[in-house]
Amino acid sequence: MKTVGIIGGAGFIGSYNTKKFLENGYKVKVSATDLTNKEKYAHLAALPNAENLELVQMNVEDKASLGDFLKGCQIVIHGGTPFQLDVKDPKTELFDPTIEGTKNFMELAKQTDGIEQVVFIASVAAYNTDFPMLPKGKKEGDQITEADAPYSSPESHPYAQAKFMANQVVNDFMGANPNLGFEITTVSPVGVMGKSLSNRQDSTSTGIQFLFKNKIAPNPFIQMLYDMDISWALVDVEDVAEAIYKVVNTKNTQGKNYLLSSENYRISDLTLMLNDKEPIEKPVIVYNCALAMSDLGMEFKPAKASLEAYNS
């Protein structure tokens, strides 16, 4: 029975990762930022095979606790970076934990015996920091693929910039360490939607679905999405967990970054579907996931299924 360490394993995506690996006979070690907050992790104890689950208090910026967490893990999934739209201090709230945390993690993973596979949950921002808008050079009707050169702009949201830079840290590390004893693979999901496994109210993915359903704009960024009726790419949260599980169980994925996306709908159509109404326009594919489909055998759920799950 292999041990999977999941950094961020109690979050929106992370909970599904935890569930997937427990269901398939793995021991799962989940990082916890505050073990005294039992309500935050209660949903994990209700998962099948939860007797094989271990919660470990850990801070990605603290090398000692991070190093202890990695010990005994054969597989590590890193998805523990903050996802914030409203940011007062980008350096302390986003850049330090995301970029420095990634540097710390890579350094310690290299030093830890027994690790066989590392999977990073990056973001569509690793390919396009202007998401949900198209990157510079692309126009409506074009597709974005894994073969495209990544696009980054200093004008993009700080969260997107932080995720892009963290992905560059991973790429630089692989370039400087070509003979590691483990594989490093990245997945880059677009807007992740679906039903949360917990009752937590602090999930940005769940929050965005609530905002879109009720057409609420708490900040200028969300209002802009409504005003422009942006075409939004989404992927089901269960599909993200499935892709990660398949990466772990697929050979020769070293250095690859898999885009994960289903369909694009305009925000107005997402609002309709979240209110059990039919969309006006047909979906389009903007983020082409040919690599994930060919290498991993991924089949992505239609957007409507993810939105129905949120409402269930």
Strands 183-189 and 191-193: unpaired
Give yes or no for a contact between 106 and 169, defined as CB atoms under 8 angstroms apart.
yes
pLDDT band of residue 93 (cuts 50, 70, 90) is: low
CA–CA distance, 273 with 271 (Å, rounded to integer): 6
| pLDDT > 70 fraction of the chain, expressed in percent and rounded | 95
More confident of the two residues 2 and 159: 2
Q: Where are the domains of the chain?
A: 3-194+234-261+287-294
In the chain, at which residue ranges do the beta strands (DSSP E only) sit? 3-7, 27-32, 53-57, 75-78, 117-121, 183-189, 191-193, 231-236, 257-260, 264-266
Distance CA 295, CA 258 (A): 9
More confident residue, 127 or 157: 127
> Mean pLDDT throughout 245-267?
97
What's the CA gap between 303 and 281, in Å, rounded?
13
- Does residue 132 carry a pLDDT above 80? yes
103 CB burial (10 A radius; 0-12, 13-18, 19+): middle
Mean pLDDT of 195-202: 83
Cα–Cα–Cα angle for 208, 209, 210, nearest 5°? 90
CATH class of segment(s) 3-194+234-261+287-294: alpha beta
Predicted pLDDT at 265? 98
